[in-house]
Chain A
Amino acid sequence: MAVAAPTLRGATRGALLAVYALIILVPMTVVLFTTFKTSAQMYASPFGLPTSPTFASFAELLDGGRLGTSLLNSVIVTGCSVVLTLLVSTLAAFGIARIHGWLGIAIFGLFAAGLAVPAQVAMIPQYVIVKQIGLDNSLLGLILINIAVTCPVAIFILTGFLKTLPTELFEAAEIDGAGPLRMYRSVALPLAAPSVAAVAIFLFVMHWNDLLYPLLFITDPAKATLPKALLDFKGEYTTNYPVLFAGVLVASAPMVLAYVFLQRYFVAGITAGATKG
Chain B
Amino acid sequence: MSTTDTTATDVRFAEVATRARRNPRRRSSRRNDPRLLLFVLPAAVLYLWLVLWPTVQAVQYSLTDWDGLSVAYRNLGLANYDRLLGGDTVFGQAFGNSLKFMLAVVIGQTTLSLVLAMALQRNTRTNIALRALYFFPTVLSSVSVAFVWSFVYDPTFGLANSLLSAVGLDSWQQPWLGDQSRAIYYLAIVQIWFHAGQMMVVYIAGLQTIPADLYEAADLDGVTRWQRFRHITWPLVAPATAIVVAYTTIQSFKAFDLIFASTGGGPNHATEILSTLIYNSAFRNFEFGYAAAQSVIFVVLIALVTVLQQRAVALSARRA
Using CB atoms and an 8 Å cutoff, list the residues of chain A in contact with chain B: 1-8, 13, 16-17, 20-21, 23-28, 30-31, 34, 43, 46-47, 87-89, 91-92, 94-96, 98-101, 103-104, 107, 110-111, 113-114, 116-129, 144-145, 147-149, 151-152, 155, 166-175, 179-180, 184, 191, 194, 205, 208-212, 215-216, 226-227, 230-231, 234, 241, 244-245, 248, 251-252, 255-256, 258-259, 263, 266-267, 270-271, 274-275, 277
Query: Considering the complex of A and B, which 9 residue pairs feature the smallest CB-CB distances, nearest first?
Result: A95-B39, A209-B141, A125-B54, A148-B50, A172-B16, A125-B57, A92-B43, A5-B215, A122-B54
**Is the Cβ of A175 less than 8 Å from the Cβ of B20?**
yes
CB-based A-B contact count at 8 angstroms: 320
Task: Give the complex CA separation of A163 and B295 in angstroms.
Answer: 35
Q: How far is the CB of B116 from chain A (nearest CB, A)?
A: 7
Asked if B141 and A227 make an inter-chain contact with CB atoms under 8 angstroms apart, the answer reads yes
Tell me the complex Cα distance, A147–B49, Å. Answer: 12
Asked if residues B141 and A124 are in contact (CB atoms below 8 Å), the reply is: no
The answer to whether A2 touches B202 (Cβ under 8 A) is: no
The reply to whether B116 and A20 contact each other, CB–CB distance below 8 Å, is yes
Q: How far is the CA of A227 from the CA of B38 in the complex (A)?
A: 36
B74-82, B275-283, B308-316 - interface stretch: B275-283
Looking at the complex, which one of B32, B51, B133, B243 makes contact with A99 (CB distance below 8 Å)? Answer: B32
Question: Across the two chains, which residue of chain B brings its CB closest to A16?
Answer: B119
Please judge, given known A-B contacts A2-B212, A24-B137, A248-B147, whether A47 and B132 are in contact too, CB under 8 Å.
no
Partner of B29, one of A1, A147, A171: A171
Q: Residues of A contacting B214 with CB < 8 Å?
A: 4
Question: Would you call A17 and B152 a contact (CB within 8 A)?
Answer: no
For the complex, what is the distance from the CA of A113 to the CA of B60, rounded to whole Å? 19
Stretch at the interface among B85-93, B120-128, B169-177: B120-128
How far is A104 from B68 in the complex, measured between Cα atoms in Å?
38
Q: Residue on B with the closest CB to A201?
A: B139
**How far is it, in angstroms, between the C-alpha of A244 and the C-alpha of B144 when the chains are bound?**
9
CA distance A27 to B257 in the complex (A): 20
Q: Cβ of A128: which chain B residues have Cβ within 8 Å of it?
A: 57, 68
Q: Cα distance A174–B32 when bound, in Å?
A: 13
By CB atoms of chain B within 10 A, which of A87, A124, A234, A256 has the most? A124
Task: Report the minimum CB–CB distance from A121 to chain B (whole Å).
Answer: 4
CB contacts (< 8 Å) of A94 on chain B: these are: 39
Q: A4-B215, A124-B58, A184-B39 in contact; A252/B147 too (CB < 8 A)?
A: no
Are B198 and A270 in touch, CB under 8 angstroms? yes
**B119 A8 Cβ-Cβ under 8 A:** yes
State A2–B213 Cα separation when bound (angstroms).
9
Contact assessment for A17 and B119 in the assembled complex, using a CB-CB cutoff below 8 Å: yes
Report B235-259 CB contacts with A as 1/0, cut-off 8 Å: 0000000010001000100101100
B118 & A252 in contact (Cβ 8 Å cutoff): no
In the assembled complex, the Cα of A149 lies from the Cα of B151 at a distance in Å of 33
Question: Does the CB pair B40–A275 fall under 8 Å?
Answer: no
Q: List 13 A-B contacts (CB under 8 A).
A: A4-B121, A5-B219, A8-B115, A95-B39, A98-B33, A117-B52, A118-B298, A119-B254, A121-B299, A122-B54, A168-B16, A248-B144, A259-B136
CB contacts (< 8 Å) of B84 on chain A: these are: none
Contact of A124 among B61, B136, B212 (CB under 8 A): B61
Contact of B25 with A by CB under 8 A: yes
Q: In the complex, are the beta carbons of A113 and B52 less than 8 A apart?
A: yes
Docked complex Cα distance between A184 and B42 (Å): 15
Among B17, B144, B162, which residue has the most Cβ atoms of chain A within 10 A? B144
Contact A211-B58, Cβ < 8 Å, known A180-B36, A245-B147: no
Q: Is the CB of A256 within 8 A of B51?
A: no
The answer to whether B118 and A124 have CB atoms under 8 Å apart is: no
Instruction: Say whether B43 contacts A111, CB under 8 Å.
Output: yes
The complex places the Cα of A173 from the Cα of B175 at a distance, in Å, of: 67
Q: Are B144 and A122 in contact (CB under 8 A)?
A: no
CB B143 to nearest CB in A, in angstroms, measures 4
CB distance B26 to A171 under 8 Å?
yes
CB-contact partner of A172 in B19, B32, B157, under 8 A: B19
Give the residues in chain A near B233, CB-CB below 8 Å. Answer: 4, 7
**Are A27's CB and B151's CB within 8 A?**
yes
Partner of B207 from A4, A88, A127, A174 at Cβ < 8 Å: A4
A125:B61 contact, CB within 8 angstroms: yes
When the two chains form the complex, which single residue of B122, B130, B131, B291 contacts A6, counting CB atoms closer than 8 Å? B122
A234 CA / B219 CA spacing, docked (Å): 56
Nearest-CB residue, chain A, relative to B303: A116
Shortest distance in angstroms between B50's beta carbon and chain A's nearest beta carbon? 4
